[in-house]
Chains A and B, each alone.
Chain A
Amino acid sequence: MTDIREEVLEHRPAPRKKSALLEWLTTTDHKKIGIMYLVNSFAFFAIGGMFALTMRTQLAQPNNDLVSHAVYNQLVSVHGTLMIFLVIFPFLSGFGNYFVPLQIGALDMAFPRINALSFWLLPVGGLTIVSGFFVPGGAAAAGWTSYVPLSVQQSGAGEDLWVLGLIIVGVSSILGAINFIVTMLRMRAPGMSMLRMPIFCWSTLATSLLVVLATPVLTSGLLMLLAERSFGTTFFDPAKGGAVAYWLNTFWFFGHPEVYMLILGAWGIVSEIIPVFSAKPLYGYKGVVVAFMLISGLSFSVWAHHMFTTGLVPNLSFFAATTELISVPTGVLFFNWIATMWKGKIRLEPPMLFALGFVAMFLIGGIDGVWMAEPAMDFAVHDTYWVVAHIHYVLFGGTIFGVMAGMYYWFPKMFGRVLDRKIGYWHFGLQFVGFNLTFFPMHILGLEGMPRRVVTYSDTGWGTVNLIATIGAYLIGVSIMVFLLNVVVTLRRPATAPADPWGGNSLEWATSSPPPAHNFDELPPIHTYRPVFDQRKALAASGSRPAAEEESVS
């Protein structure tokens, strides 16, 4: 509330501007922090995306020499690391920060100051990783998976900066996750039982549980790697009792839950949007909650599917089975989305388009995964471009499409303006075409045997396919520009968005757009998991605005 008072008291423009900046830098308001998360993600998305475009330009032709092999390895490694740890995950945390408190009718997160700390650790960690490019020897170049002994062997401080940066980012996400869990367990408005929480909250809860349980294991591995490089330990040295397997198992024990941390939030967003734009409740709300929990639980038992070809997995069949089983609850989500749309009144607004794009693209990525889940099949495609195709279909086709759906859906709430619809359609079209043009051909490259993480190739048979992918990548770049254009154009318009522009279900639509600093002037009564829908229905039935207080206690 301080900012409102300040605005009233101080009318001189110059100092106010300054204090506004300071206000952002020192804020503990979950909404401002949420927006900063999103801005941070976009900044790193631009960096990671530029790296990707450089890589794609290098790969457009066989025997190209735009960048050297040393630089290329750094680009791939930092591209993967940034996209995963500083783009996708913080995007979802950003939405979580902004909307979880709103959706459960809370004033703020449970620990606002820790919340600010978790945010600020992020750019610090991210820039630590990126700063590797400016030290002798360059940035980390052992891939985002940083396999030992290559990562131990690499000289120069780049790899150390990578390790330090990731430890910082890890601490940030652990603190953030604890904050989310406590917020959801303890700060819900009266009437908001656990099973009335919007599905996005459930996805954030599941994500946070995964973070609390899995991320510290990565931290332990990173600490070993750091010690191995700096203090001469022998964790990974087979000559002295160590083993390469220790890193692989620690990394992937974290790594697989990690990929679900990267997708659960997007599932949550899509599960919010599809019901709203179908004018129906989410089909099988409880089924979705159970699916989330099953997936989170199972995700701790599948990690060795990344190690099928290493010969270090004692029982391939076990991990094949768990990996296949995890597709079952994932499939349930798909069926629930489909059932939600059945006999609905479907409006293809931009958020819905992106959500449907998500469903289609993630479906492809998931099915790619099912191929690799069979060890015999994985032997044929491991570490080829098939895996690169899978990664991007689930992470870009999945999460980025989901994030974009969330952007269009929640932008009016955050900024009081609905993003331009026409530009939105253009954005979707370009991104959809560009995305498929870039990453679908990578399936072919993978089956043709193009290994991943190569700076160039001499097989001219791969040239055309690679060129198509490169053109697609630039098209993605254009589509992201179109999105930014949309943001700029929209922000210049007057803030006229109503409290509930879409006909929403959850509590964030019960307050003004954007919400006041204290979030709610009044809360509607909460009897189901769709309080805003109930209120709208009651309103339509009575034809007048019901007094919220009268109904709130029941």
Chain B
Amino acid sequence: MGLLVGALLTLSSCTLLPSDGADHKGRLVHSLYIKIAILALIVFVGVIGTLLFEIIAFRKRRGDDTPAIQDHGKPAIYAGFFVIGLVLVAILFPTSEMTLSKVDSVAKNPDLRVTITGSQWQWAASYDKQGFSVSGQSYKEPMQWELPVNQTVKIDLKATDVMHGLYLRQFNFSMNAVPGVTNTFSFTPDRLGTYPGQCTQLCGDGHYQMAFVLKVVTDQQFAKWVHQEQSEAHAKNCAPPASQINLVVQSISWNTKCIGVPAGQPFTVTMKNDDQGIAHNFSIYDGPDTKKNFFKGPVFKGPATKVLHVPALPAGTYYFQCDIHGQAMSGTIIAGKQENEPQTATGTKFKLVAKNVQWSAGKIVVPAGKPVTITFENEDRGIQHNFSIYATSSLDKNLFKGPLVTGPGTRVLHVPALPAGTYYFQCDIHGSAMSGTYLVQG
């Protein structure tokens, strides 16, 4: 029997190890694993070896009818058995404590802070100081997030609905996201690479797909990624294009992180510097590495106001900053028409499709005072959806609740007439992850 175990052991010895660690802490755990493995192997071989020896040496031989020695055991000896274990624990415990004290310590002055939130069934990482966040999409794509190499990052881990498990396999680390609690840990990835991870705590239907991909990149790549994400983030809440823009500088920061301007058209910027005695200016570049300059405003001390005339910019995303203060005082310019309008469904009779846990329309516009007929089609095999309307997104007043439909399936829904106003619709199973605006126009 030991043979089989032995065979299996040798067969798999190459893979019977945890990750060798993409950070210092992970490597500590790796070596802790090996230390325990050595002890374990000694105990295992000792016990199994003795057993096998006994089975062979002390087997009852044919025709041997003499009784065995009736040894009940001496208390001194079997009390000694406790000592063997205690000695092993005396080796094991300090060893693991040493590792634990390092692995479990949270950096006081991290280079970067990220808040990670688990919700059914996706991760979101929010880079609060950088002003953007990334997230995955349930059943569709894992969250992609990046960290700069050799920088200490502190993670605040939260959950919005149920418990989740953030598992960084290559770092030999995992921690639960628990509703009502913020868990923190820190680590310093020191190996470039792409590290997939997955939720380890059963969290419902989509648990098996609640994945993420962590990329550990160089500082430059990280800065680039941050800018890209920032501009995307800003694009989402950027003011609509205007040819007359008011900028205010206060305490070395702009009053906005994003400016919308019309493409191919000059515009004016009224820049008000409120910082007493501090000089600022306004410049436009292609990106944070400031390779290409499109506009350079004059440097002036506050308090003062200047009107700047900026030449036309082709449609695209740009980067603005104060040349004195650099990235710490920067933002995004979007030239062009915004294209983030959600798909809209209109009329009193239309089709609404749920597919890949997403609605075919993020916005529904219907006339006031008229009942509406919706053909609700669920194309998600084995997944349940419904269509419900609420007064607001905090679900305080339910105005319509459609039946649950398991995909694939179709239902015709008769939504009663509603007074003019802006409402909120969602699938009750997937909540805000699958929601939109229900606009009733008078």
A–B interface present (Cβ within 8 A): yes
Taken residue by residue from 216 to 244, chain A's Cβ proximity to chain B (1 for < 8 Å, 0 otherwise) reads as: 00000000000000000000001100011
> Within the complex, what minimum Cβ distance (angstroms) separates B42 from chain A?
11
Tell me if A338 and B202 are in contact (CB < 8 A): no
Determine, out of B14-22, B251-259, B319-327, B416-424, the stretch whose residues face the partner at the interface: B14-22
Would you call B202 and A345 a contact (CB within 8 A)?
A: no
Question: Which single residue of chain A is at the shortest CB-CB distance from B98?
Answer: A376
Please tell me if A82 contacts chain B, counting CB pairs below 8 Å.
no
CB atoms of A309 and B202 under 8 A apart: no
The reply to whether the CB of B295 lies closer than 8 angstroms to some CB of chain A is no
Contacts A310-B178, A363-B44, A376-B99 given: A336-B33 contact, CB under 8 Å?
no
Q: Closest CB of chain A to B214's CB: distance in Å? A: 13
Contact between A364 and B44 (Cβ–Cβ < 8 Å)? yes
Whether A331 and B81, one on each chain, are in contact in the complex, defined by CB atoms closer than 8 angstroms, is yes
* Interface pair A356/B55, CB less than 8 Å apart: yes
User: Is B179 within 8 A of A238, CB to CB?
Assistant: yes
- For residue B137, CB closer than 8 A to chain A, the reply is no
Contact check, A279 vs B60: say whether CB atoms are below 8 A apart. yes
A324 in contact with B92 given A367-B43, A376-B32 (CB within 8 Å): yes
Query: Mask for A345-368, Cβ within 8 A of B = 1, else 0?
Result: 111100000001101100110010
Contact B36 A449 (CB under 8 A): no
Q: Chain B, 155-183, contact with A by CB distance < 8 Å: what is the 0/1 string?
A: 00100011101010100111110111101
Contact partners of A327 in chain B: CB under 8 A: 85, 88-89
Q: From residue B86, how far is it (CB to closest CB) to chain A in Å?
A: 6
Tell me whether A285 and B73 are in contact in the complex, defined as CB-CB below 8 angstroms, given that A68-B382, A363-B44 are known contacts.
yes
Cα A370 to Cα B78 in complex, Å, equals 22
* B200 contact set on A, CB distance < 8 A: 382-384, 451-452
Residues of B close to A381: CB separation below 8 A: 18
Shortest Cβ gap from A225 to chain B (Å): 14
Count residues of B near A (Cβ-Cβ below 8 Å).
Answer: 87
Picked from B26, B82, B162, B199, the residue with its CB within 8 Å of the CB of A332 is B82
Q: A343–B75 Cα gap in the complex (Å)? A: 19
Say yes or no: A370 contacts B1, CB within 8 Å: no
Chain A 287-331 residues near chain B, CB threshold 8 A? 287, 309-312, 316-317, 320-321, 324-325, 327-331
Contact with A along B93-110 (1 / 0, CB 8 A): 100110110011000000
Q: Are B78 and A143 in contact (CB under 8 A)?
A: no
- CB <8 Å contact, A150 and B51: no
Whether B71 pairs with A283 at a CB distance below 8 angstroms is: yes
Asked if B82 contacts A328 (CB within 8 A), the reply is yes
| Contact residues, A90-145 vs B (CB, 8 A) | 141-143
A369 to B207, CA, bound (A): 25
Q: Does B47 contact A (CB under 8 A)?
A: yes
Q: How far is the CB of A436 from chain B (nearest CB, A)?
A: 6
> With A149-B161, A383-B201 known to touch, is A284 a contact of B78 (CB < 8 Å)?
yes
CB neighbours of A70 from chain B (8 A): 205, 382
Q: Is the CB of B71 within 8 A of A281?
A: yes
Most chain A CB within 10 A, of B18, B29, B88, is at B18
What 0/1 pattern do residues 52 to 93 of B give for CB contact below 8 A with A? 001100111000100111111101011101101110110011
Which residues does chain B contribute within 8 Å of A342, judged by CB atoms?
54, 58, 71
Residues of B close to A379: CB separation below 8 A = 29, 103, 172-175
Report A78 CB to chain B, min CB distance, Å.
Answer: 14
User: Chain B nearest CB: distance from A519 CB in Å?
Assistant: 28
Please state if A380 and B174 are interface contacts (CB–CB under 8 Å).
Answer: yes
Residue contact B176 to A343, C-beta cutoff 8 Å: no
**B179 and A376 within 8 A (CB):** no
Given B89, B104, B169, which contacts A328 in the complex, CB threshold below 8 Å? B89
B68 in contact with A311 (CB, 8 Å):
no
Q: Would A312 and B178 be within 8 Å (CB), given that A285-B72, A383-B165, A436-B8 are in contact?
A: yes
Whether the Cβ atoms of B54 and A341 lie closer than 8 Å is: yes
Interface check B203, CB cutoff 8 A: yes
Known A-B contacts A153-B204, A278-B58, A280-B69; the reply to A332 vs B178 at CB < 8 A is: no
Task: State the Cβ distance, A512 to closest chain B Cβ, in Å.
Answer: 25
Residues in A with CB closer than 8 Å to B199 are 451
Q: Which residue of A lies closest to B211 (CB)?
A: A458
13 inter-chain pairs at a CB distance below 8 angstroms, sorted by A residue, are: A69-B205, A73-B204, A143-B202, A243-B180, A284-B78, A287-B73, A328-B82, A331-B84, A331-B88, A364-B44, A374-B36, A383-B174, A449-B198
